[in-house]
Amino acid sequence: MVLRSLFGGGNKQPDEPEVAKTPSPAADIESLRRIAGELDAMPVDDRRYIAGFAYVLARAAHADLEISPVELAYMEKAVVEVGHIPAAQAVLVVEMARNMAELYGATDDYVVTRAFAQNSTREQRESLLRTAFAVGAADDSITAAESAELNEIGKELGFRSDEVDEIRNEFREQLAAIQAMRRARGA
């Protein structure tokens, strides 16, 4: 009864079912604006770094033309950790990166990845590549398309083939080709 009076439900008839209040579209839009405003308050270099990081992860996840909910969740978690931003902001950043990768990937992939490479340290680039592999492995299988895209990402980030292979080796159990060979052998 107290909750109903606080939320304007004081005139409910005894046999009426409770109806959950949902935020209005205007409230949703205002929430998004507030989150975007918090991102705007960050230094430009930090925003650029986080946006590039998220975009490359979305690029890796979208290589097989599908970004699974598990991959999205992993990307959001990674962006929170790397950017030191709240989860709500990470969700917004990842959604924007996902949309950009899906809509403009063919033209923007190289440009965004090279810009990230030019404005980051080797350790940051290695972290990004390792995280991109983890995103591909999040659904327990790195497809051939994802593997090829990860090779290209590694190359664009300035890594030699053997360096990319070293990181790939950390995820060998999730490689679809290895999984298929094991199934073929009956192991």
Q: What is the pLDDT of residues 125-179, one digit of tens each?
A: 999 999 999 999 999 899 999 999 999 999 999 999 999 999 999 998 888 778 7
- pLDDT band of residue 105 (cuts 50, 70, 90) is confident
Q: What is the pLDDT of residues 48-87, one digit of tens each?
A: 999 999 999 999 999 999 999 999 999 999 999 999 999 9
- Asked whether the beta carbons of 153 and 129 are under 8 A apart, the reply is yes
- Supply the pTM of this predicted model: 0.79
CATH number of 22-185: 1.10.3680.10
**Tokens matching residue 114:** 């090279």
In this structure, how many other beta carbons lie within 10 angstroms of the beta carbon of residue 19?
8
Q: Where are the alpha helices (DSSP H) in 8-86?
A: 25-40, 44-61, 69-83
- Asked whether the beta carbons of 45 and 124 are under 8 A apart, the reply is no
How far apart, in whole angstroms, are the C-alpha atoms of residue 28 and residue 26? Answer: 5
Tell me the one-letter amino acid at 128: L
- Asked whether the beta carbons of 112 and 56 are under 8 A apart, the reply is yes
**Residue carrying structure tokens 């990768």:** 101
Q: What is the pLDDT of residues 26-37, one digit of tens each?
A: 666 776 677 667
Query: Residue ranges per domain, the chain?
Result: 22-185
- The pLDDT, as a whole number, for residue 113 is 95
Coil, strand, or helix at residue 137? Answer: helix
Who's near 152: CB < 8 A, 6+ residues apart? 109
DSSP string computed for 34-54:
HHHHHHHTS-HHHHHHHHHHH
Residue 151: burial class (beta carbons within 10 Å; 0-12, 13-18, 19+) = middle
